[in-house]
Amino acid sequence: MAKRLTYLRPRVAPHGSTFPDAAGALSLILLLTLCLTWVPALAQPGTIRVCPDCGVSSLREAIALATAHDTLLIGAGTYRESEIAIDKPLTLIAEGRAVIDGEKKGEVITIEADSVTIDGLEVRNVGVSYTRDNAAIRVVNSRAFTIRNVVMEGLFFGIYLEKSREGLVEDNTIRGEAEEEFNSGNGIQLWYCKDVVVTGNIVKRVRDGIYLEFSDRILIENNTSADNIRYGLHFMFSNDDQYRNNRFENNGAGVAVMFSKHIEMHSNTFRKNWGTASFGLLLKEINDAEITGNTFEENTVGISIEGSNRIAYRGNVFANNGWAIKVRGACYANTFSGNDFLHNAFDVSYNSNVNDNVFRGNFWSDYAGYDLDRDGRGDVPYRPVKLFSYIVNRTPETIVLLRSLFMDLIDFSEKVSPVFTPDNLVDPYPKMKRNL
Amino acid sequence: MFKILKYSFYDLMRSRWSYVYFIFYLALGFMLLFLNNDLSKAVITLMNVIIVLVPLIATIFGVMYFYNSREFTQLLLAQPLKRTQIFLGQYFGVAGSLCLSLVLGLGIPFVFYGLFKSSAIWDFGLLLVTGGFLTLIFTALSFNIALSNANKIKGFGYAVLLWLFLAVIYDGLFLLSLILFEAYPLDNFSLAGTLLNPIDLSRTLILLKLDISALLGYTGAVFKQFFGTEAGLLISLGVLLLWTGLPIWWLTRQARRKDF
């Protein structure tokens, strides 16, 4: 009986009710009065209150009781539940600190219906599995979902969006404890999704902070992805996506964009992706992208580019990286303009002496030319590829000669008269002052 | 020996050049720390200076001192003293005063800027230790050259050539051989090549201690595996000791046999 107490929609009898009409109405009125004296707030239509001491003390019960478009208010407390399936359009709102503890028993919440909103829950202890990608919250085949202000801890996968569209993932916090790649999951994963907005999330210590596979027209904005084992953000086979104003810090590697078209990358910060195989941004088989206004700071490699064509790099700042830009081959018709290269060990590295990319109007902190006509552009072209970086590309072991006097000498002589580095790889109009 | 060491040492302490050397390092240290207040960054810049300048100065200074004190040496030889003691005393006098200038010249500004509170203290310590070793090694080498060449010009020429070889030409040959044999696995070869040259060894030891070692990539990982272990560190210290010991031993041998 107590379970039905909270169910206060007058039109329809509760699930599988067998009350005769009159008796049902009577008992409802009776229970209503009872209820009102106990918990007055419950009297809203379409609202189910869940709390550890209430009549409905588990999410699963509440979902079973609810009808489409109801709101579930989840009171403060810990709910030890897993494999909760939301199969109708519902809004779940936490009131106070509502913790759902999956007790490491598999998936915690699975959304299988359209228009589901989850707001403010705390989900923890997702079961780790080597055969199933268990998630704290999984969205399957749904439209118009919203996941907001959710805190996730003790993770395998965090939010897993599967074949879903037109959703919003906003202001969530995901804190994993990942140690190894093989037994950890991703923070936010999008698989075959369209038109999803991922904004304001904080993702830490998982495998990939945000991972996109076969997902188009996704907007990723204002997120922080830090301390992840593999990538901060990872694109695979995803087209027409945008990511802006995100911060990628101290990840195994910052962002990997692979096999994707028409990606726009604006105003992101890539910091401290430092380690022998680390980079800020990896581009592999990327065409027609735009990379503007980003900051690359203290990465081993700022951008590593492979097989990527027709990309515009504008107004980025590369500061204190090992390599600012490492071009690994098969990169054509890219333009680098108006960027600032500040104090990188190597500004640009090339592994061939053919060049089809354009450098123009960048600021190079190593530039030692002059500007007699005072138009802000240096009169002497700048050659961003040092001989040493060319040699290191050819024979990686030669890096042991880093910072030796001999290398400084031959770099200087190559600068004066280039022999090995690509002839036309010059910035003809290097800026005298910083662009940004 | 200690008496001679003391004479040489005090002689040098009174001479202008130790002060110039001391003031040079003092100024360098203060300037570096003034320009970028970051201790660990200053250590990197300082490394570049130390691995080039310390050997050069030790070489030139050693040769110069030996030729200058030739008459004094001959006077000593006339006394009932052991030859090895005379030369070793002089050698340690020169090397000691150079080391002292280096340690004090660099140490004072760094201590002034809060070295003891900084995490860079071990890097800095390593820098001073390698700097000290380089001084000992190159002074010994220059003494050998000066002892075996009575002709001052020739002696100077050889000494500078030796510095040039170890500081520049060796790296050139090393690079050439790395490129020539690029088809073969080169990790152990590059390790050996680095161990054999004291300047390269010092540079690598310091680089691996710094953040910048991430740039070394795969080869760096191999290096780190070697130098990072205690055995690796002992081996590299052993090699540095060997580089110091061998020229000193040769010096004593030559000193005993040389006909003045």
Task: Please give the pLDDT value at position A89.
Answer: 94
Report whether pLDDT(A101) > 90.
Answer: yes
Mutate to test the interface with A, among B197, B216, B218 (most CBs of A within 10 A): B216
Lowest mean per-residue pLDDT among A63-67, A274-278, B66-70: A274-278
Structural contact between residues A333 and A312, judged by C-beta atoms closer than 8 angstroms: no
Considering only CB atoms, which chain A residues are within 8 Å of B171? 401, 404-407
Average the pLDDT over A22-28 and give the result: 52
pLDDT value for A18:
43
Query: What pLDDT does residue A413 have?
Result: 85
Tokens at B55, concatenated: 């050997």
User: Would you call A373 an interface residue with chain B, using a CB distance cutoff of 8 Å?
Assistant: no
B245 at A interface, C-beta within 8 A: no
Task: Tell me the β-bridge partners of A325.
Answer: A303, A348
- Is the per-residue pLDDT at A215 higher than 90? yes
In angstroms, the first-to-last Cα distance of chain A is 68
Domain ranges of chain A: 1-42, 46-251
Residue A39: its pLDDT value, please?
46
* Reported confidence tier of residue A54, pLDDT bands at 50, 70, 90: confident
Q: What is the mean pLDDT of residues A303-331?
A: 91
B246 touches chain A (CB under 8 A): no
The token pair at B34 is 């003034």
Q: How many CB pairs under 8 A join A and B?
A: 84
CA distance B32 to B39: 9
What is the rounded average pLDDT for all residues in chain B? 86
Exposure string over A304-336, b if 16+ CB within 10 A, otherwise e: bbbbbbebbbbbbbbbbbbbbbbbbeebeebeb
pLDDT in tens, A348-407: 988 777 788 999 999 998 888 899 999 999 998 898 888 888 888 888 888 888 888 888
Q: Is A300 on the interface with B (CB under 8 A)?
A: yes
> Which of A339-343, B5-9, B180-184, B252-256 has the weakest average pLDDT?
B5-9
What's the mean pLDDT when you consider all of chain A? 86
Backbone angles phi, psi at A327, to 5 degrees: -100, 120
The pLDDT confidence band at residue B211, using thresholds 50, 70 and 90, is low
| A398 in reach of chain B (CB within 8 A) | yes
Cα Rg of chain B (Å, integer): 19
The pLDDT value recorded for residue A410 is 87
Complex ipTM more than 0.90, yes or no: no
Q: Lowest mean pLDDT: which of B11-20, B81-90, B250-259?
A: B11-20
**Whether the predicted pLDDT of B255 surpasses 50:** yes
Dmax (CA) of chain B: 61
The CATH T-level fold of domain A46-251 is Pectate Lyase C-like (2.160.20)
Domain ranges of chain B: 2-257
More confident site: B246 or A5: B246
pLDDT value, residue B109: 87
Choice among A25-29, A55-59, B128-132 with the minimum mean pLDDT: A25-29
- Report, as an integer, the average pLDDT of A163-167: 94
A316 shares contact with chain B (CB less than 8 Å)? no
Q: Tens digits of per-residue pLDDT, A106-119?
A: 899 999 999 999 99
Which pLDDT score, from 0 to 100, does residue B50 have? Answer: 85
Question: Angle of helix B170-180 relative to helix B198-209, nearest 10 degrees?
Answer: 80
| pTM for the predicted model, two decimal places | 0.78
**pLDDT tens-place string over residues A36-45:** 444 444 445 5
Q: How confident is the model at residue A202 (pLDDT cuts 50, 70, 90)?
A: very high
Q: Assess contact for A98 and A128: CB atoms under 8 A.
A: no
Among the partner residues A277, A397, A409, nearest to B187 by beta-carbon distance:
A397
A9 pLDDT above the threshold of 60: no
Question: Which B residues, 23 through 62, put their C-beta within 8 Å of a C-beta on chain A?
Answer: 47-48, 51-52
What is the identity of the amino acid at A322?
G
Q: Which of A277, A394, A406 sits opposite B168 (nearest CB)?
A: A406
